[in-house]
Amino acid sequence: MSTIVLLTLTGLGLAGLYFLIAAGLSLVFGLADVLNFAHGWFLTVGAYAAYWAIPRVGFAGGVLVAVLAGAATAALVELVMIRPLYQRTISQVLVTVGLSLAGVALFQALFSPDARTFPSPSWTEGVVTVLGARVPVKSLVLVVGAVVVLAALLAFLRWTRYGLIIRAGVENREMVTALGIDVRKAFTLVFAIGGAAAGLAGALSGIAFQSIAPSGGSSLLIFAFIVVVIGGMGSITGSAVAAVAVGLLQQFVNYYGSAGMGDLCAVALLAAVLLLRPQGIAGKVAS
């Protein structure tokens, strides 16, 4: 029983990390119809911002710096590189892929390609007993972070003016534009929100893995895309459900099967969803 509890909670921690990355991806694609392959770089920016800031301003301050760095980077990328290309899908892909590669190269030049030990607070390296299982505190931190972000996003989308604009834009962007609403401001805001969530994911990934590397965001982005597709493009709740499914599947299969089988099963789940329900768990059938 304790093994099941441990695998479940650590799987939920992994799911929380995936969700923090996937939430921004899902919102950006749902509203702006942009597949942002540079999104993993926002995570890397947040990770290194926290790496620099935590020794200087403490853990909470370092996490805040990571969130702000991710948001600012994402907003700047949208304004400078993405906004001129909204009607040019191929160009968007090429630019964001190029930016991702250039971002990794930049951090390799600044910090070297080698992984660096993350300055995690000592309390995150402890364990707590839950139903007889000794669960790492860092897994619970990931779960709490994801739940807080999910609740904040749902509240923002439901009860604020820009949240309503974003929801309406996801459903029918042309109608919102016809009403005289400047959707471009919503695009920038959505990029900033996604970058903030990715920056938080970068700080928490440093805690989870106890190290950061220039290519860390790119590797995690793969599973974030899997989560977004399974959950349904543009659906925050769908991404949350898909993240839980993928995280638990990986954790249990890797434990009871051979190493790496969890990743294979996640890809198999993606293939099954694409074959049986191409719009994803919470997506709508295209008309």
C-alpha 79/C-alpha 102 separation (Å) is 18
CB distance 18 to 29 below 8 Å: no
C-alpha 214/C-alpha 115 separation (Å) is 8
Calculate the alpha carbon distances from 281 to 193, 237, 243, 251, 274 in Å: 23, 9, 11, 21, 10
| Tens digit of each residue's pLDDT, the chain (287 residues) | 788 999 999 999 999 999 999 988 888 887 777 888 999 999 999 999 999 999 999 999 999 999 999 999 999 999 998 888 877 778 888 999 999 999 999 999 988 888 999 999 989 889 998 888 899 999 999 999 999 999 999 998 888 888 887 777 666 667 777 767 777 778 888 899 999 999 999 999 999 999 999 988 888 999 999 999 999 887 889 999 999 999 999 999 998 887 778 889 999 999 999 998 888 887 654 43
Domain ranges of the chain: 16-214
Q: Is 58 helix (H, G, I), strand (E, B) or coil?
A: helix
Q: Is 184 helix (H, G, I), strand (E, B) or coil?
A: helix
